[in-house]
Structure 1
């Protein structure tokens, strides 16, 4: 063996061992720094901790707490009750309005019938009343006519009108009365008269009497 070569290799091995030792010491020093508790150290050195992990969302159901859910349900139920009450109130008002209109029409009809009971012939206002039939397509198949009542005098006046419905043989099968009150001079109203008879047989409306009073 060459002595020179052995001496040459020895320092190399020594340097390698020294380098390895330095790496181990460096690693140990780093570990000591990481595990050191600096809670009471005033040097301001940073504290290291493990990386935080995301929360496990698999246990969440997406449901509100019972108290919140109960409160929300109460609000919804209250709103529903209020809406139902408002609808019922509106329906009641509409029913009252229709009942009022119906009562007024019936009162006017009855008054017209009473006025015409004592009238002989066709009355004194037949020339102030016109009659026009309405197409059955627009009335659901029922027979209806429109009266045009015009006050042609120079004073306020009320009118009572009788409309008869005749079958094909000329027999009166239905009579309707219409009243219009307190028309000013030149004023006109157009009440609707509807037959309550079936569509068949076809009836013919006739303006029978009209009295101004």
Structure 2
């Protein structure tokens, strides 16, 4: 009667595992060899790229996308320009309707005034934000009758370039102002927004 110890069983198990590992290793070598012994030769199968991780775009698609963006930008710029032009026209029309006649009268009254006039201290000017004028350069002229009698006023505003040269002259007026009364006509420049022009009070005559 043969009695196997636990040590014997363990040793026998180790030998069996080692033999299986050697057999498996031989099989792998045989499968990967490329000799003429007749064994099948297996080439590694290439792994296809994971296109889901690609961030690129085909050239034709990129060109089409760029063209769409450019056209969209042009359309927005054109719409913005049209909108600004419309706002400018509306603003100028509202001002012109009120000041056209008084401007003609003021120009006539100032024709023979040689110096700065007798009412410069009764006139003040404030530039208006282009956001409120549709991009036009405009000046709010405040005329205040500081005398004790009813009076009319004629005002000349010159627009000067950075060199100090007068490039545009505009006229505005106020008629029959009561003592202490005030009127605020608007003068609009017709010159381009560039170069920057500075408005200057040239003449102010009370009559």
TM-score if structure 1 supplies the norm length? Answer: 0.51
Runs of 4+ displaced beyond 3 Å = 99-104
Q: Deviations over 1:71-129 (max 9, x none)?
A: xxxxxxxxxxxxxxxxxxxxxxxxxxxx9985663221111001101112100000000
Instruction: Please point out which of 115, 122, 130 is paired with 2:124.
Output: 130
Q: Confirm or deny that 1:202 pairs with 2:196.
A: yes
* Cα distance, 1:185–1:101 mapped onto 2, change above 3 Å: same
Distance in 1 between residues matched to 2:133 and 2:153, nearest whole Å: 26
* Aligned counterpart, 2:105: 111
Q: Confirm or deny that 1:154 pairs with 2:151.
A: no
Q: Superposition RMSD on alpha carbons, in Å?
A: 2.1
Match runs of 1:1-213 below 5 Å: 102=96, 105-213=99-207
Any gaps of 5 or more consecutive residues in structure 1?
1-98
Q: CA deviation at 1:138?
A: 2.2
| Aligned length, in residue pairs | 116
Select the structure of larger CA radius of gyration: 1
Any gaps of 5 or more consecutive residues in structure 2?
1-92
* Cα distance, 1:197–1:151 mapped onto 2, change above 3 Å: same
* Cα distance, 1:145–1:100 mapped onto 2, change above 3 Å: closer
TM-score if structure 2 supplies the norm length? Answer: 0.52
Distance in 1 between residues matched to 2:130 and 2:95, nearest whole Å: 24
